[in-house]
């Protein structure tokens, strides 16, 4: 069942930001940074010593016992202290962007005396920034940004700061898609910068919508809409505005999740008589049923595309489960301590599964080690977590029912900030990767 619906969306425009680097003192080190070499210096040396000590401690404890390989993860990983930095010379929107972006990637803001890194610059006319490692007494980079908007320049500077210190994937230019719902039920799909700014409405149907999911690397979404008075899954090209239904079977079609290479979609269909996980190709063809459980919901993909993790009922207990995308036995994931787990999302680095735990009327965003071996950790009150490309920042929704707000959280420090809101109840965010 396919129909082509043209919409009048203007194509998404992105300004491009250009940066120029000045290599100041410490030219060799600066050049290394430009080339993207990993940071050498006191940070990694101290971390290396700490890690060696931990490894030795484990090997000492395990002498004489046959052990399966132990991943070094623990609940302590989620109580890390943020890296203290000092911001100097910034005002207004640039200051707000820098504070937001750095906070939700695990940095805190202190005076120059207590900071580990100094970020100096200005935003009069154009954004400039230099990053100094206080202990090494060296300037890691010094850059000027121009093009696009002040916000976008500030996001680019924040990206460079995080890249120089942590070497995680940049998120400053990334987008979120989400739904905004009126109290009566209908709503629309939106996209925005990951901090909620520059929101754009994607649909204008006045229908119930749900669960937007990005096509990796593309300006396209899958989402559920009741525009035809039935929950159907649409593919929507945001560049051209064209969309069509890829799953419009009788019954329920919802919870689309795109494989990491964009070639397949997992979703929940009830066409067999019960909601189960099905897989099709990107256009909706080649449909295959993957599960036969009593109540399956919310599939997500492992980053290598081999596994689907989803919520299920196993042995009369609500659980998270996983099954090979190519088919096979369903395996239960242990989530003891986090009741009624749903809405899993698998981190891009493969290590973690974030999910929603629900008890009484409370929702909590939790994190599980994908390989097991760690009790789930409760991060923050909220639902529907979605990972960014950096595998440490999550977007989720929280707040009173009917008045929800999106927020982002750094899972390792648990620092969280609310996103800029669209009108209505904002929920079910998906982070572009």
Partner 1 sequence: MKLHSIVLPLTLPLVLLLAATGCHKSNIPVTKLNKPAPTGTADNTPATPPISPAQPIAPPTTPPVATPVPDQNPGHFATSDINLDNYTQDRSALAAYTVHFKFDSAVVETSEQANLSSVAQALSDANLKLLIEGHCDERGTEEYNRSLGERRALALREALAKLNIDPMRVKTLSFGKDKPVDPGHDEAAWAKNRRGEFVLLHPKTPAQ
Binding region for partner 1 (CB under 8 A) out of 125-133, 190-198, 258-266, 311-319: 311-319
Please name which of 329, 294, 326, 286 lies closest in space to residue 312, comparing C-alpha atoms.
294
363 binds partner 1 (CB under 8 A): yes
- Contact between 342 and partner 1 by CB under 8 A: the answer reads yes
Task: By CB under 8 A, tell whether 343 contacts partner 1.
Answer: yes
Stretch that binds partner 1, among 27-35, 151-159, 247-255, 386-394 (CB under 8 A): 247-255
Instruction: Please report the sign of the dihedral spanned by the C-alpha atoms of residue 142, residue 145, residue 151, residue 152.
Output: negative
Which of 200, 378, 399, 420 touches partner 1 (CB under 8 A)? 378
Q: Which of 25, 53, 112, 423 binds partner 1 (CB under 8 A)?
A: 53
Three-point CA angle 408, 411, 416, nearest 5°: 35
Q: How far is the CB of 240 from partner 1 (least distance, A)?
A: 28
Q: With respect to partner 1, which residue has the nearer C-beta, 297 or 388?
A: 297
**384: contact with partner 1 by CB under 8 A:** yes
Rounded to the nearest 5°, which phi and psi values hold at 16? Answer: -110, 135
Position 96 contacts partner 1 (CB under 8 A): no
Interface map 198-217 toward partner 1 (x if CB under 8 A): ----------x-xx------
Name beta bridge partners: 131.
119, 141
Dihedral pair phi/psi, residue 44, rounded to 5°: -75, -30
Q: Exactly one of 47, 112, 204, 423 binds partner 1 (CB under 8 A); which one?
A: 47
- Options 331, 349, 351, 421; binder of partner 1; rule CB under 8 A: 331
Contact (CB, 8 A) for 41 and 30: no
Least gap, CB of 371 to partner 1 (angstroms)? 6
- By CB under 8 A, name the one of 123, 128, 225, 254 that touches partner 1: 254
**Minimum Å distance from CB 360 to partner 1?**
8
> Does residue 293 bind partner 1 (CB under 8 A)?
yes
Q: How far is CA 155 from CA 112, 152, 273, 284, 395, in A?
A: 22, 5, 48, 36, 17
User: Is residue 284 a contact point for partner 1 (CB under 8 A)?
Assistant: no
Among 39, 83, 98, 221, binds partner 1 (CB under 8 A): 83
Tokens 């009788």 sit on residue: 250
Dist. CA 157–CA 244, nearest whole Å = 38
Looking at 102, 158, 163, 311, which residue binds partner 1 (CB under 8 A)? 311
φ, ψ at 17 (rounded to 5°)? -105, 135
Residue from the set 292, 326, 403, 423 that interacts with partner 1 by CB under 8 A: 292
**Binds partner 1 (CB under 8 A): choice among 166, 351, 414, 420:** 414
Of the candidate residues 123, 364, 386, 426, the single one contacting partner 1 (CB under 8 A) = 364
Whichever of 105 and 144 has its CB closer to partner 1, that residue is: 105
Span from 164-172, 194-202, 280-288, 363-371 in contact with partner 1 (CB under 8 A): 363-371
Task: Tell me which residues in 173-202 interact with partner 1 (CB under 8 A).
Answer: 181, 183, 185
Give the whole-angstrom CA distance, residue 278 versus residue 281: 10
């Amino acid at each position: 069942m396919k129909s082509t619906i043209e919409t009048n969306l203007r194509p998404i425009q992105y300004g491009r930001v250009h940066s120029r680097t000045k290599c100041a003192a410490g030219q060799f080190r600066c050049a290394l940074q430009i080339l993207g070499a990993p940071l050498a210096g006191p940070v990694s040396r101290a971390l290396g010593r700490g890690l060696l000590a931990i490894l030795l401690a484990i090997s000492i404890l395990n002498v004489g016992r046959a052990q399966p390989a132990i991943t070094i993860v623990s609940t302590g990983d989620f109580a890390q202290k943020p890296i203290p930095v000092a911001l100097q010379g910034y005002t207004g929107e640039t200051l707000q962007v820098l504070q937001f972006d750095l906070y939700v990637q695990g940095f805190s803001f202190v005076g120059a005396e207590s900071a580990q890194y100094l970020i100096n610059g200005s935003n009069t006319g154009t954004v400039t920034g230099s990053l100094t490692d206080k202990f090494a007494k060296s300037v890691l980079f010094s850059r000027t940004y121009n093009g696009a908007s002040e916000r976008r320049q500030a996001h680019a500077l924040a990206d460079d700061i995080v890249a120089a210190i942590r070497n995680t994937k940049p998120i400053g230019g990334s987008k979120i898609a989400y739904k905004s719902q009126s109290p009566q039920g209908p709503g629309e799909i939106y996209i925005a910068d990951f901090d909620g700014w520059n929101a754009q409405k994607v649909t204008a149907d006045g229908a119930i919508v749900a669960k937007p999911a990005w096509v990796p690397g593309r300006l396209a979404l899958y989402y559920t809409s009741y525009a035809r008075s039935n929950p159907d899954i649409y593919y929507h090209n945001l560049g051209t505005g064209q969309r069509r239904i890829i799953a419009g079977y009788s019954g329920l079609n919802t919870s689309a999740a795109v494989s990491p290479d964009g070639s397949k979609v997992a979703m929940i269909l009830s066409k067999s008589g019960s909601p189960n996980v099905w897989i099709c190709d990107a256009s909706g063809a080649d449909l295959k049923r993957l599960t036969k459980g009593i109540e399956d919901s919310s599939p997500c993909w492992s980053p290598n595309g081999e596994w689907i993790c989803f919520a299920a009922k196993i042995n009369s207990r609500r659980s998270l489960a996983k099954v090979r995308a190519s088919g096979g036995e369903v395996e239960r994931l242990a989530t003891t301590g986090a009741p009624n787990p749903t809405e899993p999302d698998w981190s891009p680095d493969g290590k973690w599964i974030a999910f929603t735990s629900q008890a009484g009327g409370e929702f909590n965003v939790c994190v599980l080690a994908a390989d097991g071996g760690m009790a789930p950790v409760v991060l923050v009150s909220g639902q529907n977590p979605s990972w960014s490309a950096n595998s440490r920042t999550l977007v989720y929704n929280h707040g009173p029912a009917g008045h929800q707000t999106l927020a982002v959280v750094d899972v390792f420090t648990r620092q969280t900030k609310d996103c800029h809101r669209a009108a209505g109840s904002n929920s079910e965010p998906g982070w572009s990767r």
